[in-house]
Amino acid sequence: MKSARPWRALLFLGLGLSLLLVVAGDFCEVNHCQNGGTCLTGINEAPFFCICPEGYVGIDCNETEKGPCHPNPCHNNGECQLVPNRGDVFTDYICKCPAGYDGVHCQNNKNDCHSQPCKNGGTCLDLDGDYACKCPSPFLGKTCHIRCAVLLGMEGGAISDAQLSASSVYYGFLGLQRWGPELARLNNQGIVNAWTSSNYDKSPWIQANLLRKMRLTGVITQGARRVGQPEYVRAYKVAYSLDGREFTFCKDEKQDIDKVFQGNTDYGTMQTNMFNPPITAQFIRIYPVMCRRACTLRFELIGCEMNGKCCSEPLGMKSRLISDQQITASSVFKTWGIDALTWHPHYARLDKMGKTNAWTALHNGQSEWLQKNVFDVPFYARFVRILPVAWHNRITLRVELLGCDE
């Protein structure tokens, strides 16, 4: 009687299994996939389907993948290609490297700074198949080759009286002398030859409206004399705006505080300060923060016209100037729900290669978006969001952004 038991148990198990199949129709209730494979049903005609981990193949993932390309010997997303055995070559595969990488196994990140592409004292940052130059003002452009240092016309008159305004004006000599903003021109001559703020103005400023968006790389300041006494601005801040309503202060290069520029130490010497990074604005304001006797100022602006040509450069999705952390999305899709097959937002780089080579949304809906943070340089937009409205199959995207960063 002892021998009948296992047989009966097996029969029950068999019955149980077929019952399960009838009720649930799910072959994956028991994972048939070996070596950590993931079992799926409802794919093609087969009762179940295994997604095998790297290095395994076969219907239930029990076979080891063979060949020199498994596992992939190429680094940095290089593509392994088999070479037909002709007897005269010693390798049976080659690695096709993505841009910016070389070496037999794509193991070398090419130093794109090697040729020293940054001119005029710019510092070079090595990227994937590209580089970025950090230019010292007044130099601009991809390789710091543009010299943005034209005197914009406070002294020369290209900036008209009507373009100048101020928070307040000082009236001297029984109210007959108006030290108005239209007088704040570098090297202006005469008895009344500068702008002076009212003695009662607790936060004075003077503004120039450039009438169009321009690049500003620096400012020259100068004091003046009133009744023989030197008056000047010893320290000041600079703010700028595109619309004349919302102003942004120039920040310190090292910490997130308003930058205080060193002003004048006498009434006549010109003091020059450069903006790093350069400002892109239509309106610029000088805010005196420390004055000798009174806030009296003559000044000139240094800059140049916007150069449209430079504003169509790739902003760094492909070259990785934009880091993975700067790219976010509303959701991500995982092939068969497997973590290793996640279509991450940072896969949305142009020309990204590999099996999962783009960002894909979890659901196809108009609320899905991809977001990218741009840099700390003042910008029209620091965040760019792409909202798919129509798509083929899944919402899947690779992207590059064109523009300029100053």
Q: With CB under 5 A, what is the number of residues at the site for Ca ion?
A: 5
Q: Which CB atom, from 132 or from 281, has the smaller least distance to Ca ion? A: 132
Rounded least distance, CB 327 to Ca ion, Å: 19
Rounded least distance, CB 142 to Ca ion, Å: 16
Rounded least distance, CB 93 to Ca ion, Å: 24
Rounded least distance, CB 99 to Ca ion, Å: 9
Cα separation values, 8 from 4, 16, 36, 126, Å: 6, 12, 32, 71
Q: Which CB atom, from 128 or from 300, has the smaller least distance to Ca ion? A: 128
Rounded least distance, CB 168 to Ca ion, Å: 54
Q: Which CB atom, from 108 or from 276, has the smaller least distance to Ca ion? A: 108
Output phi, psi for 15, to 5 deg: -60, -45
Q: Which CB atom, from 103 or from 153, has the smaller least distance to Ca ion? A: 103
Q: Which CB atom, from 318 or from 346, has the smaller least distance to Ca ion? A: 318
Q: Which CB atom, from 110 or from 398, has the smaller least distance to Ca ion? A: 110
**Secondary structure of the chain in the HEC alphabet?**
CCCHHHHHHHHHHHHHHHHHHHHCCCHHHCCCCCCCCEEECCCCCCCCEEECCCCEECCCCCEECCCCCCCCCCCCCCEEEECCCCCCCCCCEEEECCCCEECCCCCEECCCCCCCCCCCCCEEEECCCCEEEECCCCEECCCCCEECCEECCCCCCCCCHHHEEECCCEEECCCCEEECHHHCECCCCCCCCCEECCCCCCCCCEEEEEEEEEEEEEEEEECEEECCEEEEEEEEEEEEECCCCCCEECECCCCCCECCEECCCCCCCCEEEEEEEEEEEEEEEEEEEEEECCCEEEEEEEEEECCHHHHHEECCCCCCCCCHHHEEECCCEEHHHCHHHEECHHHCECCCCCCCCCEECCCCCCCCCEEEECCCCCCCCCEEEECCCCCCCCCEECECCEECCC
CA distance 231 to 196: 9
Q: Which CB atom, from 107 or from 109, has the smaller least distance to Ca ion? A: 109
- Site residues (CB under 5 A) for Ca ion, limited to 186-215: none
- Site residues (CB under 5 A) for Ca ion, limited to 56-115: 100, 109-110, 112
Rounded least distance, CB 356 to Ca ion, Å: 23
- Site residues (CB under 5 A) for Ca ion, limited to 22-61: none
Rounded least distance, CB 117 to Ca ion, Å: 12
* Window of 33-41, 118-126, 181-189, 280-288 that interacts with Ca ion by CB under 5 A: 118-126
- Site residues (CB under 5 A) for Ca ion, limited to 355-394: none
Q: Which CB atom, from 57 or from 113, has the smaller least distance to Ca ion? A: 113
Rounded least distance, CB 397 to Ca ion, Å: 25
Q: Which CB atom, from 109 or from 373, has the smaller least distance to Ca ion? A: 109
Scan for tokens 């020259």, then name that residue.
220
CA distance 168 to 151: 26
Residue 126 binds Ca ion, judged by CB under 5 A: yes
Rounded least distance, CB 114 to Ca ion, Å: 9
* Window of 27-35, 119-127, 221-229, 262-270 that interacts with Ca ion by CB under 5 A: 119-127
- Contact residues toward Ca ion (CB under 5 A) are 100, 109-110, 112, 126
